[in-house]
Copies of this chain bind each other. A is one copy, B any other.
Amino acid sequence: MKFPQQHTLQQIATIIDAEFVGDSAFPVLGMNEIHVVNAGDIVFVDHPKYYDKALKSAATIILINKKVDCPKGKALLISDDPFRDFNKLTDYFKPFQKATQSISDSSSIGENTTIQPTAFVGNNVTIGNNCVIHANVSIYDHSVIGDNVIIHSNTVIGAPAFYYKNRSTGFDQLKSGGRVVIEKNVDIGASCTIDRGVSGDTFIGEGSKLDNQVHIGHDTVLGKKCLIASQAGIAGCVIIEDEVTIWGQVGIRSDVRIRKNVEIFAQSGVSKSLKEGEKYFGTPATEAKKWFREAASIRQIPRLLKNK
């Protein structure tokens, strides 16, 4: 998530009421989670275990709960609660804006695009040309939708990440300042949910097709020309490369990579990254051939027992 314009370290420190280490004019361009940071980004860290990783990341501003040595060419923001202050920044730059009508005036809708009655289009949404947004679809603020995209009824684009910090006072949600970005020629079935990124984008690649009731978590990147069948659920921060086929009711856990041309059979549960071009089955998902061999061996057990 980049800010609409460059800020100074001093300005950011003022917003979150924090002490800072570095030049007051140090440039701040945005904020991101550790796995997607660039120069100019703020990253936050609140546990000594991860200090080093954050300080050595590509981020140049570290929002941290201890006054450590500042790495060269970087700046620090010192906070007693970096998580809270990261949220404060998200709220500052991407505040929740109550909608005043079902299709926001601040949305940009392309030529020859149809928005059916009862659909909802939030603030600052961009929709390309030749799209159809069917009845009772809900599109949250800041979503970006390419040309020739069809979104079927009751699908939800851009709800926030399911991402909480467990505090003694209760679960505290990490606010989602990211977006959903859908490339051209994508079809999305009825009653799907595609969550927006926490600080980056959840991304649906060109020409991919989703069936009904598919769930895609925050910051997940789906490649081009993928097929996802009904009721599949893909957690957050998953990378799915091009031309992957995922059959019905498959579940994929967070932080794994599904390589090009993988096919995952129905109801499989994926807990690890998968190899290019392979077919997978079962929970936990294994190579399909291996799965079928194991299933066949189970049927031999009665014979083994009899031979005893």
Q: Mark A103-146, 1 if CB is under 8 A from B, else 0.
A: 00000000000101111101000000000101111101000000
Interface residues on A, range: 35 or more
Stretch at the interface among A4-12, A35-43, A230-238: A230-238
Stretch at the interface among A22-30, A49-57, A188-196: A188-196
For A134, the closest partner residue in chain B by CB is B138
Q: Write out the residue numbers on chain B whose beta carbons fall within 8 Å of the beta carbon of A217.
A: 230
Pick the residue among B136, B153, B233, B305 that contacts A213 (CB under 8 A).
B233
Pick the residue among B136, B152, B308 that contacts A154 (CB under 8 A).
B136
Q: A116-B99, A212-B215 are in contact. Are A302 and B297 (CB under 8 A)?
A: yes
Interchain CA distance A194-B96 in the complex, whole Å = 25
For A302, the closest partner residue in chain B by CB is B297
Interchain CA distance A217-B230 in the complex, whole Å = 9
Would you give the shortest CB distance from A178 to chain B, in whole angstroms? 16
Interchain CA distance A186-B215 in the complex, whole Å = 21
**Residues of A participating in the B interface, judged by any CB pair closer than 8 Å:** 96, 98-102, 114, 116-120, 122, 132, 134-138, 140, 152-156, 159-160, 162, 164, 170-171, 173, 185, 187, 189-191, 193, 195, 206-207, 209, 211-213, 215, 217, 225, 227, 229-231, 233, 235, 248-249, 251, 253, 266-267, 269, 271, 283, 293-294, 297-302, 304-305, 307-308
The 9 A-B pairs of least Cβ separation, nearest first, read A138-B153, A120-B135, A156-B190, A193-B212, A162-B211, A297-B301, A159-B190, A170-B207, A135-B138
Other 20 A-B pairs with CB < 8 A, given A100-B117, A304-B304: A98-B114, A99-B135, A134-B138, A134-B140, A136-B136, A136-B137, A152-B156, A154-B154, A156-B191, A156-B212, A159-B189, A162-B209, A164-B209, A170-B185, A171-B225, A191-B191, A217-B230, A229-B235, A266-B271, A298-B301
27 CB < 8 A contacts A-B:
A99-B117, A102-B118, A118-B118, A118-B119, A134-B138, A136-B137, A156-B190, A156-B191, A162-B189, A164-B227, A189-B193, A193-B213, A212-B215, A213-B215, A215-B230, A217-B230, A233-B249, A235-B248, A248-B253, A249-B269, A266-B269, A294-B298, A297-B302, A298-B301, A300-B305, A301-B304, A304-B305
